[in-house]
Structure 1
Amino acid sequence: GALTIFRSAICVFMLGSILCGVSQSLPEFVAARFFQGIGGAMMVPVGRLVILRSVDKANLVKALSYLTIPAMFGPVLGPPLGGFITTYFHWRWIFFINIPISILGLYLATRFIANAKADSVAPLDWIGFVLSALGCSLVMMGLATTGRHLVSGDISLACVVFGSLSLAAYVWHARRTEHPLIDLKLLKIETLQAGVGGGSLFRLGIGAIPFLLPLMLQLGFGFSAFHSGLLTCASAAGAMFMKTIAAKFLKRYGFRRVMIVNGTCGVLSLAAMGLFTPATPYAVMLIVLLIGGCFRSLQFTSLNAISYADVDTNRLSQATSIASVAQQLSVGMGVVLGGFALQMSNQLQGHATLVSQDFWPAFLTVAVAASFSIPLLMRLPPDAGAELAGRNQAKAGSAGAT
Structure 2
Amino acid sequence: MTKDSSQTALLWIVAAGFFMQSLDTTIVNTALPSIANSLHVAPLAMQPIVVAYTLTMAMLTPASGWLADRFGTRRVYFAAILLFVIGSICCASAHTLGQLVMARVLQGVGGSMLLPIGRLAVLRSVTGEQYVAALAFISVAGQLGPIAGPTLGGWFVQAITWHWIFLINVPIGAVGLYAVQRFLPAHGETQAPPFDFVGCGLLSLCMIAFSLAIDAPMPTHRLAWSAALFVLAAVSALAYIPHAKRRADPLFKLSLFREPNFSVGLIGNLVCRIGSSAVPFLVPLLLQLQLGYSPLHSGLMMLPAALAGTVAKRWIAPLVRRYGYDTFLLVNTVIVGSSIVAFALITRGTPLVVGITILAVFGAANSMQFAAMNSVTLKDLSHADAGSGNSLFSMVQMLAIGLGVSIGGGLVNLFSAQVGSAALGFRLAFVCVGVITLVSAWVFRHLDEAPASRTVHGQATQGAGR
TM-score range, shorter chain: 0.7 to 0.9
Q: State the partner residue of 2:278.
A: 208
Q: State the partner residue of 2:83.
A: 12
| One of 153, 170, 192 as aligned partner of 2:262 | 192
| One of 373, 379, 382 as aligned partner of 2:446 | 379
Correspondence 1:2-401 to 2 at 5 A: 3-4=73-74, 5-23=76-94, 26-47=97-118, 74=145, 77-105=148-176, 121-145=192-216, 153=222, 155-351=225-421, 354-355=422-423, 357-383=424-450, 386-389=453-456
Change (3 A) 1:219 1:296: same
Query: Once the two structures are superposed, what CA deviation does each residue of 1:108-161 show, in whole Å capped at 9, x if it has no partner?
Result: 777987677998743111211222222212321332335xx6676255554443
| Structure 1 counterpart of 2:281, one-letter code | F
Give distance in 1, aligned partners of 2:135 and 2:325: 14
SS at match of 1:10: helix
- Name the stretch that deviates more: 157-166 or 373-382: 157-166
How big is the shift at 1:215? 1.8
- What's the Cα RMSD here? 3.3
How big is the shift at 1:55? 9.2
Q: State the partner residue of 1:394.
A: none
SS at match of 2:381: coil
| Structure 1 counterpart of 2:425, one-letter code | D
Give distance in 2, aligned partners of 1:113 and 1:245: 35
Change (3 A) 1:315 1:382: closer
| Structure 2 counterpart of 1:199, one-letter code | N
Change (3 A) 1:289 1:50: farther
Give distance in 1, aligned partners of 2:229 and 2:251: 23
Asked whether the 8 Å contact 1:64–1:301 carries over to 2, the reply is: no
How big is the shift at 1:35? 1.3
SS at match of 2:195: coil
Change (3 A) 1:134 1:223: same
Query: Once the two structures are superposed, what CA deviation does each residue of 1:49-88 show, in whole Å capped at 9, x if it has no partner?
Result: 678897989x96x887766666666456434422322332
Structure 1: give runs of 5+ residues left out of the alignment: 391-402
Asked whether the 8 Å contact 1:69–1:240 carries over to 2, the reply is: no
Change (3 A) 1:191 1:66: farther
How big is the shift at 1:42? 2.3
| Structure 2 counterpart of 1:381, one-letter code | D
- Name the stretch that deviates more: 13-22 or 379-388: 379-388
Change (3 A) 1:29 1:348: closer
How big is the shift at 1:324? 0.9
How big is the shift at 1:328? 0.9
Asked whether the 8 Å contact 2:411–2:425 carries over to 1, the reply is: no
Change (3 A) 1:65 1:383: farther
Query: Once the two structures are superposed, what CA deviation does each residue of 1:153-179 show, in whole Å capped at 9, x if it has no partner?
Result: 255554443333222222332233221
Asked whether the 8 Å contact 1:64–1:305 carries over to 2, the reply is: no
How big is the shift at 1:295? 0.6
Give distance in 2, aligned partners of 1:205 and 1:108: 38
Change (3 A) 1:64 1:191: farther
Give distance in 2, aligned partners of 1:104 and 1:225: 29
Asked whether the 8 Å contact 2:154–2:298 carries over to 1, the reply is: no
Q: State the partner residue of 1:396.
A: none
Give distance in 2, aligned partners of 1:247 and 1:106: 37
Q: State the partner residue of 1:395.
A: none
Asked whether the 8 Å contact 1:64–1:304 carries over to 2, the reply is: no
Structure 2: give runs of 5+ residues left out of the alignment: 1-67, 458-466
